[in-house]
């Protein structure tokens, strides 16, 4: 908001008055001091505000900086290069090329494939578990729930967002893993399904909240038109409101995906953390964030392993940033679109 037109009538220029803007009385020393404080405050506030931009830039710069030796340092490149991280390597003379993540062995192996597949698997399970539950719950709360129920449901799910992820990880590790193994007879107690389900719990709030916002934003007139044409409330919700809100729900899923990919403590505690390249959902998996968390404590500062872990961090940063940007762009678009139609 710009209040500059509403300022006090005394001009701030101490110099000789020009034309009609001459002051009615001379500016006292006290007023000049207040003016100076006001001007300083303005600059201090603006300067501090740019710290948010500085933070994002610094995060990117410093995470990438530590990953650069992978590209430019001959010592590090003797052990690992971006190419050797991407493609299958023959780890011994004459052996079949394979993907392997074993950073602390005689021949350190840094294939990203097992970690990428692991991250993708766990994220997928989390989405499969969380999206139907969260979207249906959002439909209930926007279309069917009585006001009283809605007033309990919304804060309760928001409260789930306030549960620390280390607590969800603990719950998955101690309670959920045993329960699921008893029911399904998993070979490994800690596996992708256990971690994925706990991760799903962590993203239910964001998927629910964004979906619900999108559903509520659908103009009343849509519903009234459908009901007037003789559609049931269920039909209206399914065939009219849901499609109209679909970009917002898509955004919710994208935001949930970004959140799930970057979540650390839950997968670190509940996934078993074995870096095996397998599409089996019930095998033990290791994700990118969990790898960083588990291995950063023991690496040599500035070594090859250190650089690889920072490279993984930069990758994670870039991918989640992309997902968040796409998600927010869709949220803004659906708001503009539906908002424009009600006018």
Q: Quick check: 342 binds other proteins (CB under 8 A)?
A: no
Which residue from 97, 187, 235, 341 is in contact with other proteins, where contact means CB under 8 A? Answer: 235
Distance CA 227, CA 211 (A): 22
- Which residues ranging from 153 to 192 are in contact with other proteins (CB under 8 A)? 153, 155-160, 162-171, 173-175
Bridge partners of 285, per DSSP, are 272
Shortest Å distance, C-beta 18 to other proteins = 22
* Interface with other proteins, residue 334, by CB under 8 A: no
| Token pair recorded at residue 339 | 């908002």
Q: How far is the CB of 214 from other proteins (least distance, A)?
A: 15
Residue 245 binds to other proteins (criterion: CB under 8 A): no
- What 3-state DSSP class applies to 285? strand
Q: Please, which residues have CB within 8 angstroms of residue 83's CB and are 6 or more apart in sequence? A: none
Site for other proteins in 89-118 (CB under 8 A): none
150-158 own/partner pairs: CB under 8 Å, 24+ apart: 154/212, 157/204, 157/205, 157/208, 157/209, 158/205, 158/209
Look up residue 88 and give its DSSP letter.
-
Site membership for other proteins, residue 24 (CB under 8 A): no
Is residue 307 involved in binding other proteins (CB under 8 A)?
no
Binding-residue total with other proteins (CB under 8 A): 95
Residues 140-159 that bind other proteins (CB under 8 A): 140-141, 143-145, 153, 155-159
256 binds other proteins (CB under 8 A): no
35 touches other proteins by CB under 8 A: yes
Distance CA 161, CA 239 (A): 30
Residues from 3 through 22 that contact other proteins (CB under 8 A):
3, 6-8
**How many angstroms separate the CA atoms of 161 and 255, rounded?**
14
> By CB under 8 A, is residue 213 in contact with other proteins?
no
């Amino acid at each position: 908001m710009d209040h500059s037109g509403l300022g006090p009538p005394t001009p701030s220029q101490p110099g000789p008055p020009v034309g009609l803007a001459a002051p009615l009385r001379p500016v006292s020393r006290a007023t000049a001091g207040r003016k100076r404080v006001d001007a300083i405050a303005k600059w201090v506030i603006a300067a501090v505000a740019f710290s948010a931009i500085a933070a994002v830039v610094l995060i990117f710069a410093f995470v990438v900086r530590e990953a650069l030796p992978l590209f430019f340092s001959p010592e590090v490149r003797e052990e690992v290069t971006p190419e050797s991280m991407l493609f299958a390597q023959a780890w011994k003379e004459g052996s079949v090329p394979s993907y392997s993540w074993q950073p602390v062995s005689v021949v350190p192996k840094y294939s990203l494939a097992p970690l990428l597949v692991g991250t993708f698997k766990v994220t997928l399970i989390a989405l499969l578990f969380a999206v139907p539950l969260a979207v249906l719950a959002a439909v209930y709360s926007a279309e069917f729930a009585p006001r009283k129920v809605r007033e309990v449901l919304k804060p309760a799910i928001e409260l789930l967002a306030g549960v620390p992820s280390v607590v969800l990880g603990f719950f998955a590790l101690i309670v959920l893993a045993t329960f699921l193994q008893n029911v399904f007879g998993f070979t490994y107690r800690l596996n992708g399904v256990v971690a994925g389900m706990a991760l799903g719990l962590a993203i239910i709030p964001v998927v629910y909240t964004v979906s619900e916002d999108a559903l509520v934003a659908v103009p009343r007139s849509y519903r009234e038109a459908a009901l007037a044409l003789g559609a049931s409330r269920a039909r209206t919700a399914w065939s009219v409101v849901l499609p109209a809100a679909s970009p917002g729900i898509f955004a919710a899923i994208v935001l949930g995906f970004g959140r799930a990919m970057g979540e650390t403590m839950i997968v670190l505690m509940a996934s078993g953390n074995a870096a095996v390249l397998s599409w089996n959902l019930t095998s033990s998996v290791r994700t990118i964030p969990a790898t960083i968390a588990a291995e950063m404590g023991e690496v040599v500062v500035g070594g090859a392993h250190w650089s690889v872990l920072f490279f993984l961090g930069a990758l994670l940063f870039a991918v989640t940033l992309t997902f968040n940007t796409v998600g927010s762009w869709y949220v803004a678009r659906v708001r503009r679109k539906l908002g424009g139609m009600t006018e």
